[in-house]
Structure 1
Amino acid sequence: MDRVLSLEAARLTLAGNAGPVEILKGITLSVTRGESLGLVGPSGSGKSSLLMLMGGLERATSGRVEALGQDLTAMGEDALARFRRANMGIVFQSFHLIPTMTALENVAIPLELAGMPDAMARAREELEAMGLGARLGHYPAEMSGGEQQRVALARAAAPRPAIFLADEPTGNLDSQTGAAIMELLFGLRDRHGATLVLVTHAPELAERCDRIVRLADGAIVPETEVGAKVEVRA
């Protein structure tokens, strides 16, 4: 099977007030094309940091991180930004929308920066797919949290990325709205045939993934310690 994401002995050490802090301790992991992977574990276990390595938003202190066959650890910041823009859709717990831009403009701007001539049309299409056809001209402050997260999902999906990375995308939402957002996120994965890596504290969300990886204290917990791999999709 095609490996879309691959980490080999990846470590992440960050500076702390009392000296260096080892956040990730030699992570080796592969994710295949079209797979959905849930990253779970207690707060501080390294889930979000691992997602940041996969997206090239943090640089591994040692080891190797590859995405779509490209070595992210060897890229400069500009090259990483271009690679993410072309290949990755990233969704965070916070929506990171530009407050002075409408929903349509928020989704269109990364497409325009990438030089796509149909930026506005594609942005409109994704927002309508999210059920926001009537909200194209609204600003973030005029929308609910669930609507803002839908805009963020549309922005991530508009470039048709091969990889979706989601870090607690329902963490700021009530349970009903969060469930609707997760339906949309998995729908995007299915619609675009993308690979999905999801960080979550919610077991019911993780169990929708093809595979669950558990982290503790910056390392992957062996399956022999947590039970068999969870497979919930045919």
Structure 2
Amino acid sequence: MVEILHGITLEVEKGETLALIGPSGSGKSSLLMVMGGLESATSGTVSVLGSDLTAMDEDRLARFRRDHMGVVFQSFNLIPTMTALENVATPLELAGDREAFAKAEAELEAVGLGHRADHYPAQMSGGEQQRVALARASAPRPDILLADEPTGNLDGKNGDAIMDLLFGLRDRHGATLVLVTHSNTLAQRCDRVVRLTDGTVAGEVARAAE
């Protein structure tokens, strides 16, 4: 077994925006996945909103994420056989929301893609696909938004647009935002910046003066 993270203690306050930075292989994405219950910790405790994720089985973890978390991946992770509208509506439908499609449509409008509702992922650009992914993550109004390199596959212009949308969604819904990024510009927009090195927290990085 390869041990990726070592002795990490990290607290994130409700409503805070936190950036995880560090070189490739430092454990940033692994830490984010453990925080979201998408990867299991082999020791220690992961406490989220007062619940211990390490004590939950896969079904309980899935329900917890459905009810409290939105996740945005670098690779978008959209369902290719579903339209943009269907992709955004899926987590709402799984939660039994009878207004799933109406809310999904409103969320697509909020990210500027109302006109793309009936298009499939393959018919959209990378920037548009990431907007759909953001809409899907935010539609259930999660308490926590986790984003793994949300601008990593985009050019500068699209990356800037996604950054603005990500923080705009966070501001509108009041969610706690934790993101992994190699972008210093994106990191500096967060309340706190934590650097990882070799699977450990190396310390906090001072933010530039406003």
Which deviations, in whole Å up to 9, do the C-alpha atoms of 1:168-215 show, x marking residues without a partner?
011110011001001000001100000000100011110110000000
- 2:26 maps to 45
Tell me, in whole angstroms, the C-alpha distance in 1 between the residues paired with 2:141 and 2:199.
Answer: 31
Matches within 5 A, 1:131-210: 131-210=112-191
Report 1:1-234 matches (<5 A). 20-223=1-204, 229-230=206-207
The structural deviation recorded for 1:230 is 2.5
CA distance in 2, matches of 1:42, 1:222: 14
For 1:118 and 1:230, the matched residues in 2 are separated by 41
Count residues in correspondence. Answer: 210
Q: Distance in 1 between matches of 2:50 and 2:208?
A: 26
Structure whose alpha-carbon radius of gyration is higher? 1
Report the residue type matching 1:77 in the other structure. Answer: E
Q: Is contact 1:37–1:198 with CA below 8 Å preserved after alignment?
A: yes
Aligned residues with identical type, % of pairs = 73
> 1:113 offset after TM fit, Å?
1.2
1:222 to partner: Cα distance: 3.1
Unaligned runs of at least 5 residues, structure 2: none
Greater relative CO (CA pairs within 8 A, separation 6+)? 2
TM-score where L is the length of structure 2: 0.97
Contact 1:210–1:232 (8 Å) recurs in 2: no
- Where structure 1 has 5 or more consecutive residues not aligned to the other structure, the ranges are 1-19
Q: Give CA-to-partner distance per residue, 1:53-108, whole Å, 9 cap, x none.
A: 10000111000001100000000000000000110000000011111111001111
Runs of 4+ in 1 over 2 A off after TM superposition: 229-233
Post-superposition CA distance 1:96-155 (Å, at most 9, x none): 111111100111111111100100000001000000011111111111110000000000
RMSD across aligned positions (CA): 1.1
Say whether the 8 Å CA contact 1:102–1:138 is kept in structure 2.
yes
Separation of aligned partners in 1, 2:10 and 2:170? 20
